[in-house]
Structure 1
């Protein structure tokens, strides 16, 4: 103790926050260290063991498998982060939330990349033996599984990374085969030659989920089909944007609901007017829809025309427009009535090539004609077959070279032939939105080829069709957002049969043998014999993978069951890769025993909204076909990432941001906060400025946690006091924690992370930093520190309990913030946990549960009272801010405001509280008054509260800086307040 009390430096007696937790996170450097720590301690196994020790019920988010090709991007990073937040939050709310990552390893995306590698070595796909090609595909997928696994792990994603599920594992491939054969045995498998989307560049069928739609310019032609049996040489006119399909024409469709007329061309525009000679000729007789006659004549450059009569095309037969060119085209063209024909555009008649259009195919079959009669004159390369006169070998789309994907020779040659025949009425250019392969970006064509389908409408084992079962399952599923149900439902309601065959090398084979009548062995053989053959097939795949099917002679499979191999053909097509991913529930969940035993379902499937037509649907159809139910209880979808202007991210326009870029500059924690803070169910915007907003949110949250760690220096549970013994402000904070506990749990439960972050950021910024910490800073730093529940007799503020109460409350707040924020900010909350009083309880913050909230903390009446206090405090704070701005005071402690309050209940709310402490002033006077006493500070939204910011009198305490009446001072400590004197005495006693 110094000789002169007035010269004493009281700084040593203050209880200032002390912590090793740094102000800056240093995330780019520290995050890899935390991941290394978790891997070394095998945190994931700890989580599983902890859940089992608690008897926790399993909760399963099933990971949709990304393709194992290429580095992850911002979209895949966001996807995995959302999943991780979901899994972590469910683990910390009492569940056993396992996370098994997986990969899709077969299919076109990987095969296409491997083809490119071989092409770079001057080896075309057909030059590479199948076994070598498949081995290269498997090696390629293995490489990217390893790379992507590291990249996903770097995002802080916790899961079973040492044993992920892969569709190319032998056991997975065997299960996929088993699921397929199970469907085939139930009679769902059918073979047909329907027109499907075909990629000439990739030489395979494509599903809807494998195409994207882009605008492209195409030729448009109006073509005359001469009517047979009439003496006026009239022609029916059709319109098409696919001239190349004219050689495949087998009918013209019309609608009984459209009125048609016979028109005579009176005159056409001159060559001088047009700069070219029109194809239309004066005197021609044309049959077209009355509603479209003017548009057709304008397109044909007809300057005058006359409607001659009504016509009814029912029962007519036409000539093919190229029938005079070669006998190959001299077949009759029937007129077929079709519901798809409208008078919205074209001519009112529809050129019908059943091999190249779904509507064309349907109207052909519905007319009683067979699929065997369909002309298939386009080969797998998108070229006319050699037997087609004049056009044999011509390509529709260029499949190689620098102009790959551009139009081939077919369109222009067909147009030229039509012009020569005299049956080209007009031509032009238009823009259509058409399907392109999402891999090669080249246009696709519609082409009828023999393919395998899963029937959507054939009755299954339960008497209902796959479509009916799937729609019922959709109705029983919960969707987030709810509009997902309608979207998926509409797709299933209108979808055709599921095309499951692909003409590729790298995939799970369609493991069936077909007899000479075209029947698969699952239908042609007795059930027990077919099932025995199935078991042999599955065993071969389980032992040798998909290669076993292709490399094993059919005799080895069939001979073992007394079947003559000469009577059967082995199918070499592979399954649609969506079938692979649709069966993941079978080998990734069921066979690993991580699925709800009561329902046989995963709790949640979560992917991008595009998966309504992809994985959500293929999984639904496969599981409904094999088990009559959906594989999931809930479906959650996220949107996509766009730039600050809402534009899709594209490397070509330079607006992309890579996860690695954010990790190096800011840290993955910032990306996680950005993901959680926005409405990820819609498209999320990102830019440097938006990311900086997430950095600011991180800074506020980190500083809040850091302040509490410092304020709780030396805290032990022995210091805690009961809520009933706490001052009102502390009990209000406990009430807020009770409210937040309910709100945060509810928001996590429905995957509303934006609400979680909004609640917690607002709580930290307003309730804590702007109110509680601000008010209690004086108490934490300056109140006496007692190790027992002693109180300062006669002081209504109960100084002895106040500091302990504040630290007790802060301990409760810190524990909740650490756990509530851990799913979103796993790195920072782990760091803070290891600096906190909780660190000895478990090895990691992620092994904690959200703390239970005592029932007694909720106090609505208390909250209402404090709302009134805060109403008055807000006006006082505003008044003091003006005083500081005008430099009439330096700090709020230099004032003892006089507050005039019209509503007496607002004054009553302060009963038992020290208004000066709450206002952070050296005192305060609350006066019931309805007058303003000559002015004062007011807020428009708070009438009846007027503040006069009176300058504080007395002397300034050299320890707490409060102004006080020196007459009240302890004679031994005349320069500090009595409260501070008591604190110094206590400090001296402890340090003697």
Structure 2
């Protein structure tokens, strides 16, 4: 620039905004949280709906346990929920979210027991109400901690009034829901195998069990055939295989597979140290014979197959128990062991014969029911054999720490001593463990309380079926939408095949089974259970005032029975309800009873991890089908598990855990939320340092788009805005894209597809806006005077602002609040009080969109050609160019000539021609029919807009083009 040439920088309409380049989220997010609390955003949103203009939408929160700091799975879960709630609110609903906590049950009780053990105290010596109060205090402490951790993630909701399963009203309703089961006839006391934790001394639900590898002794045991054999089968033995030797004293039958091929095998020779004997004959499944005989150390040539043995022959056999007749057995095992066909028997491992102990397995129990087998009660709560059981009394399966006791060894040693063991082998199996104590679980027959899911409920709510199972299966298919759809199949198959629901737990912290049984009566006897509405009403009244502790107070039995019954004739039940019944009942005391619940007691959405198909989704379905006759939800949304960057499950031992608090301290909660939005949450997700860096980069690109928009809107007023009809085509193309996006964003949010929503908005912001529209319109925004073009661009910026901030606010609530307040500061201002603006139908213009798609294709060829020249240092900027563009397609050429294509390509000039492209023209394979010949622009450089034009220097203002001269006035 010559010395006398004016500096025109101050005459440009440069961006004006205080919106910072650096977000500073970790430091600034707490300020916005405090602001939202101060101005009462959540309550003000509820006030907007008081006139009835907004349709209610309720996401019902699946309650986490109040017993520890949040992990990354909690962050994922609550963030997805928050996006659902916020997006529906901004789409015009009254979107309610009441956070809740599961406060009862073993997770919390176990923590208190650990504290007792550390002090050398015995929990059983503490008064039960005192113990329950300690559990309550423990839960209260963690609720306060977790509440602040959830709020720090930007989760909106009624945090001042959450629901707690230990609130007195909640305990009352849980008891009332149980008493509905009592009164409708689906409650019964039965004795069947349940998952039992010897360490925790309680039954466990399937959802409280996880599977881990453990080592055990597998044994091959011969059962002498007592009767039913003939010919060469006389004196033969049926060989069973088991990985739980401790169950053998409880054996009552043997099962075989009706479709499996069996044979009679004879031992022709034995090696040293072999428990089999020459001449022995064994019945074995043909597919497993070689493996079983090999375990006995018998090689090929030491045995031969004599013949087939069919199902009819097997069914006629009766065996003797291996311990039958043993000296000192006192006749304990002097009974017959029949053989039964069982569809559960496979030829995958073992011998094809399954030893059957009805007290210790579901399949065994069903066989026992079918054939009238005796249930045994040899195993006590601590997994020890009953004290008077011959040979094994007092031996434990597992000790108090979950380590193997002496039971297996005692049984094996006795079999060896009696010559009743053919082989043993140490193997590794996957078996059930308690997910709290991590100790192994056994299948144990215990008297428990059950809900019969195939018994007619008898409550008259039969629209969807007469039994709990029928109602649940019908609800799954007719009343609920599943995201993803695979959730439907998962829950349907589980409920279709599940057994009756075990309701009782042998613990102290929870809601008791508020019922009474007649002293001396047996389950199933008439009058065994007391069913009296007046008694139930007294219990409800006491629980509302005092909580469930009322059940344990002195004189409780007399208080609840009143004067109508003799307390001596009734026994009070002190088992507590399965904690899944608690959480399954939440629909009643949250959706039904709260002012911010729902009119029909049904939630619009339940959203949890895929493990809740066997947990909360499952128990809520069963519980509601037993009390209201249908599912308590209309939508079920499921997310997967969170893995590290390599796809490994996170664990403290591997050191690959990602703690939400650490991510927030480094990046801010919005980055964590953006990670959630960028993942397909319906599958397992990965997270780690490198992934978070990529998320932060995406965030920066999006933030820069918002910053440019804010800069362009500096000091804009309503008077600066124009109607769409007055806009140039480029602006009307942006409006078309906004109309498309409005439909896509709303459909995506309605379908809970946050990944799809964010991808659409991110691509629009970075590709359509930053790399195209903003890139083109910078010149007009900065250099034009008060032109129609500049007013149209700023109008589009205003329309973009209101849509992008509200579209993105559910995903990035802190950042969009920052963007909003940068333009609309004020004590009561917040983007979260806004709705997504309606988009006029006439913004859509498919013909215009098709035309500009051609323009953009041609532009790609031109910008690529100029980039070659820039790389070769022929030019420093695209404004130095005036390329010749050869266009073969007539429609495309006409489209390019109808727009200011030089502005679109950010060149000083451009020549469009239908002439064939010369050989030296630049071409792009993906832009067929367009060739670009580079030419430098003619003229001088305008010192204000930097375009090179022939008229520069011919106007009143020195070194300017006509456009800039006019702008300067």
TM-score bucket of the superposed structures, by smaller chain: over 0.9
- CA 1:295–1:265 in structure 2 vs 1: closer, same or farther (change >3 Å)? same
CA shift for structure 1 position 506: 0.6
**Cα deviation 1:87-109 (Å, max 9, x = unaligned):** 00000000000110000000111
CA shift for structure 1 position 391: 1.1
Q: Which residue of 1 aligns with 2:788?
A: 801
Would you say the 8 A contact 1:901–1:927 is kept in 2?
yes
Would you say the 8 A contact 1:197–1:447 is kept in 2?
yes
**Residue 846 in structure 1 maps to residue 832 in structure 2:** yes
The 3-state SS of whatever aligns with 2:379 is coil
Q: Which residue of 2 aligns with 1:498?
A: 501
Within-5 A mapping of 1:198-217: 198-217=196-215
Q: Which residue of 1 aligns with 2:722?
A: 721
Q: Which residue of 2 aligns with 1:983?
A: 967
Q: Which residue of 2 aligns with 1:280?
A: 276
Q: Which residue of 2 aligns with 1:797?
A: none
Within-5 A mapping of 1:902-913: 902-913=888-899
- CA 1:568–1:54 in structure 2 vs 1: closer, same or farther (change >3 Å)? closer
**Cα deviation 1:24-63 (Å, max 9, x = unaligned):** 1100000011101111111110111123346101100000
- CA 1:37–1:967 in structure 2 vs 1: closer, same or farther (change >3 Å)? closer
Q: Which residue of 2 aligns with 1:130?
A: 128
CA shift for structure 1 position 521: 12
CA shift for structure 1 position 915: 1.7
Within-5 A mapping of 1:15-164: 15-53=13-51, 55-164=53-162
For 1:141 and 1:679, how far apart are their aligned partners in 2? 33
1:349 alignment partner, one of 353, 373, 382: 353
The 3-state SS of whatever aligns with 2:790 is helix
The 3-state SS of whatever aligns with 1:228 is strand
Would you say the 8 A contact 2:517–2:529 is kept in 1?
no
Q: Which residue of 1 aligns with 2:335?
A: 332
1:174 alignment partner, one of 172, 193, 197: 172
CA shift for structure 1 position 553: 2.6
**Residue 858 in structure 1 maps to residue 855 in structure 2:** no
**Cα deviation 1:597-629 (Å, max 9, x = unaligned):** 3x5411000000000000001000111111111
Would you say the 8 A contact 1:58–1:595 is kept in 2?
no
**Cα deviation 1:365-416 (Å, max 9, x = unaligned):** 20134xxx311100000000101112111110122xxxx2221111111100
Q: Which residue of 2 aligns with 1:457?
A: 454
For 2:394 and 2:235, how far apart are their aligned partners in 1? 34
Would you say the 8 A contact 1:512–1:522 is kept in 2?
no
For 2:812 and 2:106, how far apart are their aligned partners in 1? 37
If the length of structure 2 is used for normalisation, what is the TM-score?
Answer: 0.96
The 3-state SS of whatever aligns with 1:664 is helix
Q: Which residue of 2 aligns with 1:388?
A: 389
Within-5 A mapping of 1:261-660: 261-270=263-272, 277-303=273-299, 304-308=302-306, 312-323=313-324, 324-325=326-327, 326-339=329-342, 340-369=344-373, 373-399=374-400, 404-461=401-458, 462=462, 464-476=466-478, 477-516=480-519, 518=521, 524=527, 530-597=532-599, 599-660=600-661
- CA 1:521–1:570 in structure 2 vs 1: closer, same or farther (change >3 Å)? farther
Would you say the 8 A contact 1:454–1:497 is kept in 2?
yes
For 2:133 and 2:759, how far apart are their aligned partners in 1? 50
CA shift for structure 1 position 966: 3.2
- CA 1:564–1:610 in structure 2 vs 1: closer, same or farther (change >3 Å)? same
Which structure 1 residue ranges, 5 or more long, are not aligned?
271-276, 786-799, 986-992
The CA RMSD measured in Å over matched residues stands at: 1.9
The 3-state SS of whatever aligns with 1:387 is coil
For 2:295 and 2:191, how far apart are their aligned partners in 1? 36
Within-5 A mapping of 1:221-260: 221-229=219-227, 232-260=234-262
1:973 alignment partner, one of 957, 964, 969: 957
CA shift for structure 1 position 206: 0.7
| Count of aligned positions | 950
Would you say the 8 A contact 1:328–1:388 is kept in 2?
no
The 3-state SS of whatever aligns with 1:268 is coil
Would you say the 8 A contact 2:433–2:441 is kept in 1?
yes
The 3-state SS of whatever aligns with 2:94 is coil
CA shift for structure 1 position 704: 0.8
Which structure 2 residue ranges, 5 or more long, are not aligned?
none
CA shift for structure 1 position 939: 0.4
For 1:330 and 1:919, how far apart are their aligned partners in 2? 94
CA shift for structure 1 position 259: 4.7
- CA 1:919–1:357 in structure 2 vs 1: closer, same or farther (change >3 Å)? same
- CA 1:417–1:909 in structure 2 vs 1: closer, same or farther (change >3 Å)? same
Would you say the 8 A contact 2:748–2:756 is kept in 1?
yes
More deviation, 358-367/473-482: 358-367
